[in-house]
Amino acid sequence: MNFALMTYDARDSATKQRKIRSIAQTIMYPVQRGASGTVNWVGGWFGNVGELRRASVENEQLRKQVEQMQTELRDTRERAARAQRLEQLFKLTETTAYQTVVAHVIARDPSMWFDGVTIDKGRWAGVEVNMPVVTPDGIVGRVISTSPLSAQVMLVTDEKSGAGGIVGQLGQSNAMGSIKGMGELGLLEMRYVSGMEKVQTGDAVMTTGQDAIYPPGYKIGEVIEVRPGSATQALVIHIRPSAGLERLKEVAVLRYQAPPRVEPDQSLPNVEKKNSK
């Protein structure tokens, strides 16, 4: 009898315990689920923050790599462009009939009264005043002062500069005139060309050698504007220099000296007769 009662009490106790655990689980389920969700959310948030930081670091590294590659690309392009310019200059020195001095432009005069550049070659390299300065594309200007290691060059666009020019080729055209710089405009004006000559935009203008500075046959620029003239009025011609003066990097100084001019009285037929008397 006692054994039966003990067995009943044990079963009854186990049933009560199961009921209590069931009720407790039911009550704690929302709390446990909320806590679990909170822990997972916090863990996920910190994980996302970590991933964002890693992504930010990787993006910064990639940005620096891209900037470095862009810098290297610019340097490579600049070296390639410089090599190409020097190659063209050396070809010019090989084809010209005059000795040349290749120089780099190291400064540009910012003054509004003077349009010129400074080059890194001077008297010690054989550069002298009034020597012409050119590029493979055309004339640049003339040397106006020198030091042992550098020289100043007045650009052809300076208002005080001048050159003899011809529209077309020397010996094939009569459109000859005087070239003057137009200063800040960066253009040239050609004067004293007869209004009866045919000049069109796009025509090339070459040196004649009559200015005693530039040898004949070097390109000055191209005609960009022509205003008509007449039999008594000269054409108004504006020219864009072909040497790319606004982006000069390297130039060639021609060691050129114009041949001496024949004195007018030496060409008179009766000079010798007068001297023989």
Architecture of domain 100-254 in this structure: Beta Barrel (2.40)
Spell 27-57 as b/e; 16+ CB within 10 A means b: eeeeeeeeeeeeeeeeeeeeeeeeeeeeeee
Q: What are 197's two structure tokens?
A: 């000559």
Report how far residue 10's alpha carbon sits from residue 6's, in angstroms, rounded to the nearest whole number.
6
> What is the structure's pLDDT at 34?
56
> What is the structure's pLDDT at 44?
62
Q: Domains of the chain: which residue ranges? A: 1-95, 100-254
Chain mean pLDDT for the chain: 79
Minimum mean pLDDT range among 20-29, 189-198, 233-242: 20-29
Contact (Cβ atoms closer than 8 angstroms) between residue 178 and residue 165 = yes
Q: Which residue has the higher pLDDT, 113 or 8?
A: 113
Q: What is the mean pLDDT of residues 83-111?
A: 79
> What is the structure's pLDDT at 10?
47
> What is the structure's pLDDT at 72?
64
Q: What are phi and psi of 105, to 5 degrees?
A: -80, 120
Q: Which residue has the higher pLDDT, 95 or 248?
A: 248
Looking only at the bridges linking them, the beta strands covering 250-254 and 188-191 are unpaired
How far is CA 243 from its chain centroid? Answer: 14
Backbone torsion region of residue 141, taken as left when φ is above 0, otherwise alpha when ψ lies between -120 and 50, otherwise beta = left
Is pLDDT at 163 greater than 90 in this prediction?
yes
Q: For 215, which DSSP code?
A: P
Q: Which residue has the higher pLDDT, 233 or 37?
A: 233
Amino acid code (one letter) for 35: A
pLDDT bracket for residue 168 (50, 70, 90): confident
Decide: pTM greater than 0.95. no
> What is the structure's pLDDT at 97?
85
Q: What are phi and psi of 172, to 5 degrees?
A: -120, 0
Is pLDDT at 147 greater than 50 in this prediction?
yes
Report how far residue 194's alpha carbon sits from residue 247's, in angstroms, rounded to the nearest whole number.
34
